[in-house]
């Protein structure tokens, strides 16, 4: 006789502090298993309760953990308990001791979708940070990428190699954006000490994330802050001022800043417009020719020297901040995709496209 598979216990809500944690019990005997631990009004068995009714009670021996239960069917029951990790961990421990098996939500998603692209999009939706990125992932969840891959295979098998190659090239051209639907773009603010980088990053993210002080060298570590630019997730990094110095801690901060610059997908070089323009400033631009140049403190009288063109900003008056936000968005995503477009967003999808392109 075949042994009945264990009931799966899946945590559907994000772990950590929160008002409510939701656990799903799924599999043959799910309602019966919970019945042995759930005490509600009148102690009536869950199977005798109407489906989808919310039932308040407690889990475990008195006083137990206060919970709200919803029986979707005899093989699917939702249990809602207090947020945080302790309550959910206790419930999971009891259920495992009684034969259940804890399953990660990512694995549960894979088991519930025949198409791996649909499963990957479902999982990515839980990680995305912006509505615009989520809309693109929803298109992939509803089959945009699957249809595009099927069309590529159909073209290749039908001898239409140029069509297949064209479709592959179009998808690969969108891969960078697809990768950043969940992973934020890395934007690094850099420049010499005391040019206003920390004030500028605070203005960009809308709250005081970086410490601002008049003394040069205040920022010695990399300070990061997440935001959204034109609907795209972005991680800003405020770095130590780029300069040569004798202080060991400041040198370490500069080295860390330089490493961060190498990893950046967009570098924003900030210069103090009220200070004189030096050869060191020009050298900095020559070192990072693809950078976005910003001249801060434009509300103050300009300093001496001829400087290159760039965006003029003032944190004090707000001048140029909106223009800078738009410029960053244009640099990151110069050609936003239309709704419904197919877009690869996971490494295995890029691997498939790369391998298939070699066969066409």
CATH number at residue 48: 3.30.1360.120
280 shares its domain with 316? yes
Contact criterion met (CB below 8 Å) for 130 and 233: yes
Predicted pLDDT at 222: 62
Predicted pLDDT at 292: 95
- Domain-located, residue 1: no
Ranges under pLDDT 70 in the chain: 1-3, 17, 207-222, 240-260, 360
Contact criterion met (CB below 8 Å) for 31 and 77: yes
- State both tokens at 41: 């009004």
- Domain-located, residue 130: yes
State the burial class of residue 318 (Cβ atoms within 10 Å of its Cβ: 0-12, 13-18, 19+). exposed
103 shares its domain with 36? yes
Number of domains in the chain: 3
* Residues 6+ away with beta carbon under 8 Å from 151: 167
Range of the domain at 280: 185-332
- State both tokens at 197: 């980088």
151 shares its domain with 61? no
Predicted pLDDT at 209: 52
199 shares its domain with 219? yes
131 shares its domain with 228? no
Residue 96: CB atoms within 10 A of its CB come to 14
Domain boundary among 57, 77, 111: 111
297 shares its domain with 193? yes
Predicted pLDDT at 247: 52
Give 130-195 as a DSSP string: SHHHHHHHHHHHTTHHHHHHHHHHHHHHTT-HHHHHHHHHHHHHTHHHHHTTTSPEEEEEE-STTS
Predicted pLDDT at 254: 54
Predicted pLDDT at 266: 94
Whichever domain contains 242, its CATH number is 3.40.50.300
Query: ∠ CA 309-314-317 to the nearest 5 degrees?
Result: 140
Residue 356: CB atoms within 10 A of its CB come to 16
Domain boundary among 65, 91, 111: 111
Contact criterion met (CB below 8 Å) for 166 and 172: no
202 shares its domain with 324? yes
Predicted pLDDT at 214: 43
Measured distance CA(153)–CA(145) in Å, rounded:
13
Tell me which residue of 193, 266, 185 sits closest to 229, measured CA to CA: 185
Predicted pLDDT at 216: 43
249 shares its domain with 300? yes
Predicted pLDDT at 248: 46
Tell me which residue of 34, 10, 32 sits closest to 22, measured CA to CA: 10
Predicted pLDDT at 269: 92
Three-class SS state of 238: strand
Predicted pLDDT at 207: 65
- Domain-located, residue 232: yes
- Domain-located, residue 2: no
Domain boundary among 95, 111, 127: 111
196 shares its domain with 298? yes
- Domain-located, residue 65: yes
Global confidence as pTM: 0.81
Give, as one character, the DSSP assignment of residue 360.
-
């Amino acid at each position: 006789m075949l042994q009945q598979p264990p009931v799966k216990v899946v945590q559907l809500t994000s772990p950590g502090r929160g008002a409510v944690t939701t656990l799903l019990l799924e599999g043959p005997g799910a309602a019966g298993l919970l019945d042995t631990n759930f005490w509600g009004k009148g102690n009536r068995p869950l199977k005798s309760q109407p489906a989808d009714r919310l039932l308040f009670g407690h889990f475990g021996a008195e006083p137990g953990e206060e919970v709200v239960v919803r029986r979707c069917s005899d093989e699917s029951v939702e249990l809602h308990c207090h947020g945080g990790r302790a309550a959910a961990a206790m419930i999971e421990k009891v259920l495992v001791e009684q034969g259940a098996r804890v399953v990660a939500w990512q694995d549960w998603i894979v088991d519930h979708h025949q198409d791996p692209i649909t499963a990957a999009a479902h999982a990515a939706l839980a990680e995305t940070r912006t509505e615009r990125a989520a809309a693109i992932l929803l298109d992939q969840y509803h089959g945009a990428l699957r249809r595009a891959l099927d069309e590529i295979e159909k073209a290749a098998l039908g001898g239409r190699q140029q069509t297949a190659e064209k479709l592959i090239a179009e998808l690969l051209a969108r891969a960078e954006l697809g990768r950043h639907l969940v992973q934020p773009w890395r934007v690094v603010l850099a420049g010499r000490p005391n040019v206003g980088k920390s004030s500028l990053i605070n203005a960009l993210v809308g709250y005081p994330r970086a410490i601002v002080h008049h003394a040069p060298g205040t920022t010695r570590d990399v300070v990061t802050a997440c935001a959204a630019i034109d609907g795209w997730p972005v991680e800003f990094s405020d770095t130590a001022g780029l300069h040569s110095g004798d202080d060991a801690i400041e040198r370490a901060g500069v080295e860390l800043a330089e490493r961060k610059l190498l990893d950046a997908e967009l570098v924003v070089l900030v210069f103090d417009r009220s200070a004189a323009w030096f050869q060191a400033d020009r050298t900095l631009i020559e070192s990072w020719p693809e950078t976005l140049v910003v001249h801060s403190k434009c509300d103050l009288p300009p300093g001496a020297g001829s400087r290159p063109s760039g965006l003029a900003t003032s944190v004090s008056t707000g001048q140029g901040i909106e223009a800078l936000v738009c410029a960053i968005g244009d640099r990151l995503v110069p050609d936003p995709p239309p709704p419904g477009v197919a877009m690869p967003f996971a490494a295995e999808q890029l691997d498939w496209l790369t391998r298939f392109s070699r066969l066409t």
